[in-house]
Structure 1
Amino acid sequence: MLTQIINGRILTPQGWLKDGSVLICDGKILEVTNSDLAVIGATVIDARGMTIVPGFVSMHAHGGGGHDYTEATEEAFRTATNAHLKHGATGIFPTLSSTSFERIYQAVDVCEHLMKEKDSPILGLHIEGPYLNLKMAGTQYDGFLKTPDENEYIPLLERTSCIRRWDISPELPGAHDFAKYTRSKGIMTAVTHTEAEYDEIKAAFAVGFSHAAHFYNAMPGFHKRREYKYEGTVESVYLTDGMTVEVIADGIHLPATILKLVYKLKGVENTCLVTDALAYA
């Protein structure tokens, strides 16, 4: 079905456009034009006084609407996803916190089931942990943290293709073998909850770690040990060309000055904005 949205303030890569229109077919944007003349055969939506932006793809959100995806139930998945759809998301990768592999298998079953539904907004599963550096993980992960175990993750990833992203600490024993394997499966692997410095980040990028989760948060910056100074994870990611980043741009996790720095050094092509939302979002 062809749809034309007119009279709204349109956000484009070149800036704001007024008195134009957006043509959509089957949920995809066909064209953004500076003409608001009616297109023959199109259903017209008048967005006067409103803003028109592309639908958000939420790639790091743990929950919402009172439910957490780690509950691994259909109710939790549907409720949390609907909470984000109300605020502009059109696609989402549900995020699991560190948990047992039994719970991960349950979440995989739910995710696979929901992805088969027509026009499902669920695009795949995102796992954070349980392979995390204990010193950087926070108390919410107590009891589940461990080093990568190929006897756990290989059988899981051989069984399902719904897992599209997995975040772990790259300095853990076995983390590089993990990243090589996930890369072979087409899974985006991200550094997270880490204290890795430049040599480790450089080596991690070489084996498949291509992204930095909630950049600046749960990772150190420039620091000093005794009389010597060292780059932290933050500076190491900046120095690694090709490594993408995500930031929680809510003005609380990061101030505006740091967001400007990320924009300046990584640029829009290598940066995305995430909510990292929890159940109470």
Structure 2
Amino acid sequence: MKTKIFNANLVTPHRIIRDGALLIEDGKILQVCDVNPPTHDTFDIDAQGNYVSPGFIDLHIHGGGNSDFMDGSVQAFLDIANTHARFGTTAMVPTTLTSELDDLIKTLDLYEQANRQNFHGSSFLGMHLEGPYFAQSQRGAQDPRYIRNPDASEYNRILDHSSSIVRWSAAPELDGAIAFGQRLMQRGILPAVAHTDAVYEEVLEAFDNGYTLATHLYSAMSGVTRKNAFRYAGTIESALLLDMDVEIIADGVHLPEALLKLIYKIKGPDRIALITDAMRAAAMPEGESVLGPKSNGLKVIVEDGVAKLADRSSFAGSVATADRLIRNMISMAGVPLTEALKMMTLTPARIMKVDDRKGSLQKGKDADVIIFDDKICIQKTFIKGKMVYEKQATSAGNVYRL
């Protein structure tokens, strides 16, 4: 049966179609209409004048709903996918932390199992390995015990073991990092610059060898430095200067208003991907939590809308959900709705080379669709045409249902 969503403000990458309609069939978008066409034998959904847009695509996410992708279970993957579907995320790239090699291999195996069982949550686009090839000086909350230089025998073992890796973040200045990036490119995997002390010349070489994405810009990366009185542009300035895609954690904490505005002014919506970088405490009450595996992860405290190390000396992860990112880009950075949405739909789809099937309301693309109000509160989430979440109103107030 076809589904029709009508009485909708359809958000496309370039405009908003007022009082439009969307036809869906067999998990695909059948037609984008600027009127409500007469139909027969359709399941009709009245959007009630709300916005309808492509679902959010999160390129960098560790967890949510009190689960982490490295908890060591299929259920953790499924719980995270279900949790973030409530907030409009219809596709995600599950992300690891630095760890023992055996734990990483196990996580990759669990991903493949979970991917076959994920029928109700945000779909998985493949795994993102964050580390362990980082600069110790820029490790952030990553466990220093596992940080090391690229090792060809190690990463080739991982690559041969799993075909589910779609991106891998590393520090490009490390010995062996350029060869590592070249190897990833041979396998069709996106290398990304992260947790790095690289200067411009090192970033430029990396960019020429496939490192075309900057992981969580400004977080755990070098800025302008001085050596023997001479100034050197760091990774931050390099990412802004080059035609490099950048991720930003727009939770309103990791980056203040001024930096959100600066990045947007320089890079624009076609080069920026909004990410949650969410850890397990996303969509959970504030208080104590754990970064990484529940069994042996790092104890953290969640307050002020962010996770912090126990001594409060540093941030220890985001607790954002995707809807919060959109609200912040509009309210803090002054970005138009269409462009804010583009940074979490079409741009990340293009970065991950899935824009032929995701990221915009277009005939033939996957019917990954969300309905939200003018406060960016998600009303309904559809993944491949199937409604996986609906906000319910009761006498006790609004509750969420999956």
Q: Which category of TM-score, normalised to the shorter sequence, fits these structures?
A: over 0.9
- TM-score, length basis structure 2: 0.66
- Match for residue 66 of structure 2? 66
CA–CA separation in structure 1 for the residues paired with 2:245 and 2:56:
18
Kept in 2, the 8 Å contact 1:38–1:44? The answer is no
Aligned length: 280
Say which of 122, 125, 128 aligns to 1:123. 125
Kept in 2, the 8 Å contact 1:115–1:123? The answer is no
Q: Structure 1's 139 and 215: CA in aligned 2 closer, same or farther, altered over 3 A?
A: closer
1:59 is paired with a residue whose SS is: strand
CA–CA separation in structure 2 for the residues paired with 1:213 and 1:82:
25
User: How much does 1:183 deviate?
Assistant: 0.6
- Match for residue 198 of structure 1? 200
- Match for residue 19 of structure 1? 19
- Match for residue 94 of structure 1? 94
CA–CA separation in structure 2 for the residues paired with 1:30 and 1:193:
43
- TM-score, length basis structure 1: 0.93
- Match for residue 175 of structure 1? 177
CA–CA separation in structure 2 for the residues paired with 1:215 and 1:124:
22
CA–CA separation in structure 1 for the residues paired with 2:186 and 2:64:
32
Kept in 2, the 8 Å contact 1:19–1:34? The answer is yes
Kept in 2, the 8 Å contact 1:2–1:24? The answer is yes
Q: Structure 1's 269 and 26: CA in aligned 2 closer, same or farther, altered over 3 A?
A: farther
1:150-172 deviations in Å (ceiling 9; x for gaps): 11110221122111111011111
Matches within 5 A, 1:144-155: 144-155=146-157
The alignment status of 1:230 with 2:199, answered yes or no, reads no
Kept in 2, the 8 Å contact 1:23–1:29? The answer is yes
CA–CA separation in structure 2 for the residues paired with 1:268 and 1:39:
36
- Match for residue 250 of structure 1? 251
Equivalent position amino acid for 1:187 in 2 = I
User: How much does 1:65 deviate?
Assistant: 0.5
1:7 is paired with a residue whose SS is: strand
User: How much does 1:8 deviate?
Assistant: 2.5
Kept in 2, the 8 Å contact 1:62–1:95? The answer is yes
- Match for residue 209 of structure 2? 207
CA–CA separation in structure 1 for the residues paired with 2:32 and 2:264:
25
Please, which runs of 5 or more residues in structure 2 have no aligned partner?
283-402
CA–CA separation in structure 2 for the residues paired with 1:182 and 1:151:
14
The alignment status of 1:278 with 2:279, answered yes or no, reads yes
User: How much does 1:178 deviate?
Assistant: 0.8
CA–CA separation in structure 1 for the residues paired with 2:54 and 2:247:
18
Question: Which of the pair is proportionally richer in helix?
Answer: 1
CA–CA separation in structure 1 for the residues paired with 2:137 and 2:257:
27
User: How much does 1:149 deviate?
Assistant: 0.9
Q: Percent identity?
A: 39
Say which of 216, 219, 231 aligns to 2:218. 216
- Match for residue 109 of structure 1? 109
Where relative contact order (Cα < 8 A, 6+ residues apart) is larger, the structure is 2
- Match for residue 4 of structure 1? 4
Q: Structure 1's 111 and 135: CA in aligned 2 closer, same or farther, altered over 3 A?
A: same
Q: Structure 1's 31 and 225: CA in aligned 2 closer, same or farther, altered over 3 A?
A: farther
Deviating more after overlay: 138-147 vs 224-233: 224-233
Q: Structure 1's 30 and 271: CA in aligned 2 closer, same or farther, altered over 3 A?
A: farther
Deviating more after overlay: 263-272 vs 102-111: 263-272
- Match for residue 139 of structure 2? 137
Deviating more after overlay: 46-55 vs 160-169: 46-55
2:145 is paired with a residue whose SS is: coil
> How large is the RMSD of aligned CA atoms in angstroms?
1.8
2:10 is paired with a residue whose SS is: strand
User: How much does 1:226 deviate?
Assistant: 5.7
2:19 is paired with a residue whose SS is: coil
- Match for residue 56 of structure 2? 56
Please, which runs of 5 or more residues in structure 1 have no aligned partner?
none
Deviating more after overlay: 97-106 vs 34-43: 34-43
Equivalent position amino acid for 2:251 in 1 = D
1:112-139 deviations in Å (ceiling 9; x for gaps): 1122347571221111011110000024
Kept in 2, the 8 Å contact 1:72–1:104? The answer is no
Kept in 1, the 8 Å contact 2:193–2:213? The answer is yes
